[in-house]
């Protein structure tokens, strides 16, 4: 059986009408203009079918090709070369099945979600830990000065209280391995309220409101241990890497590079107002728990001040503290320390 096709010799754009006949192991092209030409089926490259496009192409040796409509000729060739189109046949079937379109869409969305939720944090962790500690300090230089201009006001704590807490803090950080540059700074939080957070440079800022909320120095030590855990685990740097990576990827898709520069410009306030991920908080909590136990301080002190923070937020809806939220995860964190205290 002969099939009609257009022949291109690969040397010019001229096409010639030919008839194609399939024989065992070969195809034969015949026409008055082209004459009689034969090609081995094993040397043919068959183009995959794409969607509803009916035009098909078979590429011949020496850059020649034939184009034709329909699948009859393709099917006749595939009888001689049945394994050639296995993948492309599956792809064509999937392209024309709403079920497969739905499945592949879900799989793609799942991959994208997994990459952003798990992939980027994992990459950020490896990158952060491979960078020297001095990187954190250089990136964080000037951050506190910026925050002092736009967020904080000078502390009103007495010098005696500040020095007493700095002495405790110095003993805590003296035990930390690594080239971290720790410093404790006090500021009046204002709208931020009771808060404590670690900057990239290793400075831990504690607001007056947090000190005023505490009932003893051990509660402050528990909060400081938590923040030291953030520094040791490089959470600020990992947050910056994750946010930057996410911004860069979005910029690549949207073609908007200004998103990256905007992130860099707003970095100081981003670090204050954005909450750490649950994993980061869990790591910092574990660090604090180990510290408290190793220094014979009851984990209950952390649970107590956290509980007071929750109650304060419930009583004052205008309080904008970022140290915790009313999310159930905070209650679970409190319970974790209560259980640790009961376990001894």
Residues 91 and 201 in one domain: no
Q: What is the model's pLDDT at position 240?
A: 80
CA distance 122 to 117: 9
Do 101 and 91 sit in the same domain of this protein? no
Q: Which residue among 130, 148, 173 closes a domain?
A: 130
| 101 shares a domain with 79 | no
State the average pLDDT over residues 108-119. 85
Confidence at residue 265, expressed as pLDDT on a 0 to 100 scale = 47
pLDDT of 317 higher than 50? no
| 59 or 327, which is more confident | 59
Cβ burial of 139 (10 Å; 0-12, 13-18, 19+) is middle
Q: State pLDDT tens for residues 42-63.
A: 888 877 766 556 688 888 998 8
pLDDT at site 319: 45
For residue 62, give both structure tokens.
Answer: 């020496």
Stretch 297-309: mean pLDDT: 94
Three-state DSSP state, 31: strand
pLDDT confidence of residue 277: 75
198 and 293 fall within a common domain? yes
3-state SS, one letter per residue, for 94-122: HHCCHHHHHHHHHHHHHHHHHHHHHHHHH
| CATH for 34 | 2.30.29.30
- pLDDT band at residue 326 under the 50/70/90 scheme: very low
Long-range contacts of 245-248 (CB under 8 A, 24+ apart): 245/120, 245/123, 245/124, 246/116, 246/120
C-alpha–C-alpha distance, residues 253 and 260, integer Å? 13
Task: Give the residue from 130, 145, 178 where a domain finishes.
Answer: 130
* Same domain membership, residue 112 and residue 42: no
Same domain as 218, residue 104: no
User: Residues 58, 178: one domain?
Assistant: no
Q: Which residues, other chains included, contact 43 with Cβ-Cβ below 8 Å and sequence gap of 6+?
A: 60, 61
pTM of the model: 0.64
Q: Are residues 155 and 279 in the same domain?
A: yes
pLDDT of the residue at 126? 87
User: What pLDDT score was predicted for residue 81?
Assistant: 64
- Residues 43, 145, single domain; the answer is no
**Last residue of a domain, which of 109, 130, 151?**
130
Residues 194 and 124 in one domain: no
Q: What is the pLDDT of residues 234-292, one digit of tens each?
A: 988 888 888 777 666 665 565 555 554 555 444 444 444 445 577 888 999 999 999 99
Strand-pair partners of 187: 154, 207
Instruction: Say how many domains are in the chain.
Output: 3
Q: Are residues 91 and 112 in the same domain?
A: no
Percent of the chain scoring above 90 in pLDDT: 38
Domain that holds residue 111: 97-130
123 has pLDDT over 50: yes
**Average per-residue pLDDT in the chain?**
82
Q: 306 and 211 in one domain?
A: yes
pLDDT tens-digit readout, 160-192: 999 999 999 999 999 999 888 899 999 999 888
- Using an 8 Å Cβ cutoff, are 199 and 271 in contact? yes
């Amino acid at each position: 059986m002969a099939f009609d096709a257009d022949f291109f010799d690969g040397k010019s754009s001229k096409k010639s009408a030919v008839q194609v006949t399939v024989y065992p192991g070969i195809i034969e092209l015949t026409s008055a203009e082209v004459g009689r030409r034969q090609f081995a089926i094993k040397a043919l490259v068959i183009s995959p079918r794409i969607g509803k496009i009916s035009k098909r192409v078979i590429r011949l040796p020496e850059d020649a090709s034939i184009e034709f409509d329909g699948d009859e000729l393709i099917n006749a060739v595939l009888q001689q070369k049945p394994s050639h189109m296995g993948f492309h046949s599956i792809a064509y079937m999937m392209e024309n099945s709403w079920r497969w379109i739905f499945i592949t869409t879900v799989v793609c969305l799942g991959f994208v979600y997994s990459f952003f939720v798990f992939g980027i944090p994992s990459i950020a962790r490896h990158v952060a830990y491979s960078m020297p500690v001095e990187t954190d300090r250089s990136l964080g230089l000037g951050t506190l000065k910026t925050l002092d201009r736009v967020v904080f006001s000078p502390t009103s704590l007495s010098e005696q209280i500040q020095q007493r807490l700095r002495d405790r803090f110095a003993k805590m950080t003296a035990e930390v391995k690594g080239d971290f540059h720790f410093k404790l700074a006090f500021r009046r939080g204002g709208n931020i309220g009771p808060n404590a957070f670690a900057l990239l440079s290793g400075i831990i800022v504690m607001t007056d409101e947090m000190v005023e909320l505490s009932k003893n120095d051990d509660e402050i030590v528990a909060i400081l241990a938590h923040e030291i855990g953030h520094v040791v685990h490089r959470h600020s740097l990992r947050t910056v890497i994750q946010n930057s990576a996410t911004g860069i990827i979005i910029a690549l898709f949207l073609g908007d590079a200004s998103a990256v520069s905007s992130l860099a410009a707003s970095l100081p306030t981003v670090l204050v107002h954005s909450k750490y991920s649950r994993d980061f908080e869990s790591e910092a909590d574990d660090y604090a728990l180990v510290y408290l136990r190793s220094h014979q301080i009851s984990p209950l002190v952390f649970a107590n001040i956290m509980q007071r923070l929750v109650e304060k937020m419930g009583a004052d809806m205008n309080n904008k503290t970022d140290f915790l939220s009313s999310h159930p995860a905070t209650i679970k964190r409190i319970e974790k320390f209560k259980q640790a205290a009961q376990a001894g």
